[in-house]
Chain A
Amino acid sequence: MGQERFADVVERFTNGYGDLLAASAPPERVKQWQEEFDRTARRLGNLHRLVTSPVEPKTGQTPREEIYRKNKSVLYRYRSSRTHRTPLLFVPNLGISRPYIFDLLPGGSFVEHMTRSGFDFYLLDWGVFGPEDNGLTFEDCVTKILPRMASRVLESSGTESLSVLGYCMGAPLSASFVASYPEIPVKNYINMAGPIDFSKIGLFGLWLDRRYFDVDRFVDTLGAVPADLVKAGFKLLKPTMDLSTSINLWWNLWNDKYLEGFNALNKWANEYVAFPGEFFRQWVRDFYQGNKLVKGELVFGGRPIRLRDITCPIFVVGAKEDYIAPPAAVHALIDAVGSREKDYIELPGGHISLIAGRGASLHCWPKVSGWLAPRS
């Protein structure tokens, strides 16, 4: 009797299962579920590959040649069809990160976009500094490195003038240079996410305030700012960043193209670069604590740095959700320069979304090349 009942239960279950499988469900719903399950299967496959056989992303593939080297800093030339005569010198940040973010992957590279748009592109790679460079200052970069790099651009391209583009910290560096070296003819100047007014700099401004942060003690003790401390500072600025990155990674893990981009960007995002000690001291004291650039109180190599001495056409690009260089701190250049022709745009996204990713290639880069083209 018991056995019969058990058999009945099994039969009922198998029949029910069969009914369930045969049950009529909306075909679109079945298709949606199939797609969802398939995505999950692909996620698992890609996760397995990511963990067991990670592939080193091939970044920086645009062909280039070394034009000039000064200590660790190298000037690279990316040749183009040269539709526009005036070359462009790109000045990125010193320390913090490596510059291959600007040439991340084919089809997602700022350098590639600019060379395809017909600009001869010169990238200044500041390099990775060691303890022997701890004496290098911000002033040295403005008075000793940048003028030489700009002269080499003019020599190499055979032109009388050049355009300069400063990104992030590269903007205050290059703006100081452009303002104080009138003998190097700069035709156009672009500031992308570069802070100028440090009274509007946000969290870093508060943390580095002289009431709480003794930069002299810091540099005297450590000699330089190690890469790990730079990393800790930036991670603290947005503590949830790693979590949202992981959530987005899992969500898009089924997409091989996304994974390729993630690998490259993740490699860059975890490769921090140390600051030379004296550079950091001057950067914090004169910019974050003194806000001397916008006040016109800097004197480098005996030359006063007055932003109003910049008179060439300028283009400033800010990012709405930039917490490293908030748009207000970037926009300040517009009011500080003596140029008559000056344009400002504010794009959605954060600090990096101006220079890498799909949004940058769709919204930012065409605007930069579009502004520069008729002026070059």
Chain B
Amino acid sequence: MIRTLTTGRTGPLILLAIAAILLFAVAPIALSPFRLSLLARFLCVAMVAVGIGLAWGRGGLLTLGQGLYFGLGAYVMAMHLKLADAGPGGVPDFMTLYGTGEVPWWWEPMRSPVVTLVLIVLVPATLAAALGWAIFTRRVRGAYFAILSQALAAAFAILLIGQQQTTGGTNGLNGFRAFFGYDLTDPVNQRMLFFIAAGVLLVMVVIARQLMVSRFGELLVAVRDAEDRVRFLGYDPAAVKTIVYVLAAVMAAVGGALFVPIVGIISPTDIGVVPSIGFLIGVAIGGRATLLGPVLGSIAVSWAETSVAEQFPSAWTYFQGALFLGVIAFLPGGLASIVRRRRAAPVTEPEPDPRPEGRTL
């Protein structure tokens, strides 16, 4: 049933329609403004998960540092919002508080809304392309890549903390009043932000699906499973990996950019080593190599975090630790593999596959 819905021709359209109805019609009625804005936040995190699903689930790139790109998108957006709040030629409040009271040159481009939107995509894409190409052409892979990507996020968080006068340091950037001219305290505008996040997430899922069913998607799985073999067929695996790494980076950055007006704050604690690995757990639970698994898993984990942390603050860390341990060790295909196993049970499978990832849900 689910397989036909995601791999057939009309199936995806039906699923998309259901998701759109749920997000655009049901959610605004069923949820209070507070819950709706909470869900909007979850959707932003889910955007990161879509990218990780492609890079890790399909491409085998264990990117432990998506916080870097999430943070780049978020800070570019936050810088624009701070500058816009300060007015033309104005100085953001925290700079007069902690710094020299002068706007540094690299903040200036973010005064323009158009340039900001371009930079939200361009900055992470350029960085990911440069880093990815450098790393992948030298065949740094597997654990080495994972460790490097993690160090990237760590270095970025340290850099931000150290530059209190120009980045807000550990406090981050917060206290935004308006989003491209719209008052952020107005519930109507908050709902509009939710709709934007929902729409963007749906577009990302469509892009991810097209990639998965395309020839590029097949090539990506081939690179994941036997990189050298692909090379002997005349492809450059570094190019394939760089493309998917850049795509994942851009998705994370867009999620970060929308996170800022919805949540109202971005700080180094949202992008360091811990949150960067945290992005992965939802992807793993939902099924890393599937289309919808990462999105649904990520939203479920965000929701669980909020509900558990509301009632038992310290229990969440235990819960998260147990999730990592349990899911990765004992259910590497995620919940999607259970759905598939139950459905596939009557059909005679040739032999049990030790690695359930790699097929479409």
Are A and B a genuine interacting pair, yes or no? no
Residues of B bordering A, CB below 8 Å: none
